[in-house]
Structure 1
């Protein structure tokens, strides 16, 4: 039979037995002392492996608070402490956040609040050196524990430095075996803090990049006009992971003939390249709809032809709609170019997906392809939802099921203000988005639903 691979524990045990059989080692150490040294070596190797695992976990996560929690959990595990905490400093030097292990963080913060500018922790930040305290209560720098804070006896803390400045402090209290903190504990915590500073800086840069991308994307999207007596609201949510630039867009405007024009579209492809293409298509479509007019199918046809000016014509899906007020009622006329169908939510919660009679190709695919219009009466008080596929497409889930889920949720929210409706439909489910998401909502005047007031705003 093949020989089983040697396990570290078994190898250490055999080495200890061999040393014991020899009786004495060349340097005069006895078998018990050598066995202790072997055990300490094995413990050090296990600590090193756990430290490396912690470094990998921190480097893989780009969410700043998740990185901070990784740091506290790794420190507590590596040293074998009962309690761990990481206090984060603001620009004014005061604590602005606290991440804990071993205590009820929410309850403690509610009862005690964040650490104050005095006591042992402030001394740690003032010296910017590791601190070990054998008896917290007896230390002259101690000011006691606030209400709701667990009693602690021993303390080991190190400052967290990011780019030469104190970002916060990492401290542990009371080892699980009751032993005091050692030089080895201090060394491994210092090593962890040093590595952690790199992960913290990376997470901060990642967060800054996300915010910059989001700001750039929103600057490319329009502010919604006042369409009274119609109420309009929009919600845009970028993809959960970088790059957070995408090809989603929306628009709403009053046309020269008094009709309201609505559009929601999605440029094919992702990343940085989709954003400027989105801006070009949005502006072209707006100009065609406003200056040339005509039914939605004609405007989309003109866009198809205009896209041929590109060497490699971009493609996009979209819904272009006209809301007309004639004969005392509102009528929706729209053309669908390969896009998810609009969802109509009546005042009583009845929902209808307005699927086109004939499905259209995305724009930019074939300029000679025929475009068609569909028409539907909009009841008083109803809400029209135009959205991109990022709202309903999820990995591993059937699109029909997610569309039905959207309709059910929209029906339950039929009477709430538009801003809340959009927020609940987009972010209320707490999901992560693989693609950017746009939701444009238009509500007709009526007695049943709650009307939003004032000028409609963007996301």
Structure 2
């Protein structure tokens, strides 16, 4: 009669060998994960400007944080550049999706907007021509965007937006607000769109902050509540330099409760036009 053999108990050496094998595999997976995180972040950084222009009495600073799980290449971007007439151009936007295709689309929008802004002073025209150009490229994605033009001599600011979230401002005399400027459709949806332009005068020291929805909206925070939180934060720290203010605004993204990427672009302005008074 055959008897069933009793299974051999694992020896201490067997257990140790198995643990070493599992530990080695876990270490490899962690290293692979970290490599993917670093690659995604490096790709995003390469697509954003390394520096922003500097003008007397005007400070600019920007921050970008990738999706908090660290694996997605986000579609958020910002840009700042000097225009042929000496004005400062600032842009911020958010591309649909979080993958390599979205990042590629983001890069093409940045290049297109820079090129068009070099020959068109009106932000609404810049936005409209950028929209028509990217539609002619037949991309299946769309993007929201805000574009600003600031004259550093007169401190006049002209802005247009394409479906993007509002901006936040505050001044040293205690005023603050959320922009309620009219806008147009996001870029890449329909040809020959009109983008209204809003004009402001930066005649009192203060800050103007552009951001993406990753800073203000999520499961834990409605967009209105998020914007008001940033408005109060900017008002409280309106005397800080642009770098510090950009850090504080980006840190507030933790209150949204989600893992979207986030971008912040800060413009701090001093006393009136240079030479005034």
Q: Distance in 1 between matches of 2:70 and 2:253?
A: 21
SS at structure 2 position matched to 1:201 = helix
Q: 1:394 aligned to 2:218?
A: yes
Q: Which is worse superposed, 399-408 or 275-284?
A: 399-408
CA displacement 1:348-384 (0-9 Å, x = unmatched): 453211121x331101111122221112222332111
Q: Distance in 2 between matches of 1:380 and 1:430?
A: 31
Q: 1:349 to 1:213 in 2, by over 3 A?
A: farther
Q: Which residue of 2 aligns with 1:276?
A: 104
Q: Distance in 1 between matches of 2:271 and 2:95?
A: 35
Q: 1:224 aligned to 2:51?
A: yes
Q: 1:443 aligned to 2:268?
A: yes
Which protein has greater RCO, CA pairs closer than 8 Å, 6+ apart?
Answer: 2
Q: Is the 8 A contact 1:341 1:355 kept in 2?
A: yes
Q: 1:194 aligned to 2:18?
A: no
Q: 1:289 aligned to 2:114?
A: no
Q: Distance in 2 between matches of 1:242 and 1:258?
A: 38
Q: 1:351 aligned to 2:179?
A: no
How far apart are residue 398 of structure 1 and its match? 1.7
Q: 1:252 aligned to 2:77?
A: no
SS at structure 1 position matched to 2:55 = coil
SS at structure 2 position matched to 1:317 = strand
Q: 1:188 to 1:379 in 2, by over 3 A?
A: farther
CA displacement 1:292-313 (0-9 Å, x = unmatched): 2231011111112212322345
Corresponding residue to 1:240 among 58, 68, 71: 68
How far apart are residue 425 of structure 1 and its match? 1.7
Q: Which residue of 1 aligns with 2:242?
A: 418
Q: Distance in 1 between matches of 2:258 and 2:99?
A: 14
SS at structure 1 position matched to 2:155 = strand
Q: 1:188 to 1:412 in 2, by over 3 A?
A: farther
Q: Distance in 1 between matches of 2:253 and 2:77?
A: 22
CA displacement 1:135-169 (0-9 Å, x = unmatched): xxxxxxxxxxxxxxxxxxxxxxxxxxxxxxxxxxx
Q: 1:189 to 1:414 in 2, by over 3 A?
A: farther
- Count residues in correspondence: 263
Q: Distance in 1 between matches of 2:41 and 2:64?
A: 10
Q: Is the 8 A contact 1:348 1:414 kept in 2?
A: no
For residues 111-130 of structure 1, the aligned pairs below 5 Å read: none
Q: Is the 8 A contact 1:227 1:254 kept in 2?
A: no
Q: Is the 8 A contact 2:53 2:80 kept in 1?
A: no
Q: Is the 8 A contact 2:214 2:253 kept in 1?
A: no
Q: Distance in 2 between matches of 1:400 and 1:192?
A: 51
Q: 1:199 to 1:375 in 2, by over 3 A?
A: same
Q: Is the 8 A contact 1:349 1:414 kept in 2?
A: no
Q: Distance in 2 between matches of 1:433 and 1:330?
A: 37
Q: Is the 8 A contact 1:224 1:251 kept in 2?
A: no
CA root-mean-square deviation: 2.5
Q: 1:192 to 1:353 in 2, by over 3 A?
A: same
Q: Distance in 2 between matches of 1:286 and 1:391?
A: 25
SS at structure 2 position matched to 1:427 = helix
Q: Is the 8 A contact 1:319 1:337 kept in 2?
A: yes
Q: 1:381 aligned to 2:201?
A: no
How far apart are residue 188 of structure 1 and its match? 4.8
How far apart are residue 414 of structure 1 and its match? 1.7
Q: Which residue of 2 aligns with 1:300?
A: 127
Q: Which residue of 2 aligns with 1:212?
A: 39
Q: Is the 8 A contact 2:53 2:88 kept in 1?
A: no
How far apart are residue 286 of structure 1 and its match? 0.3
Structure 1 unaligned segments of length 5 or more: list them: 1-43, 45-182, 448-459
CA displacement 1:207-230 (0-9 Å, x = unmatched): 111111111111111123432111
Q: Which residue of 2 aligns with 1:94?
A: none
Q: Is the 8 A contact 1:264 1:440 kept in 2?
A: yes
CA displacement 1:118-148 (0-9 Å, x = unmatched): xxxxxxxxxxxxxxxxxxxxxxxxxxxxxxx
How far apart are residue 396 of structure 1 and its match? 4.4
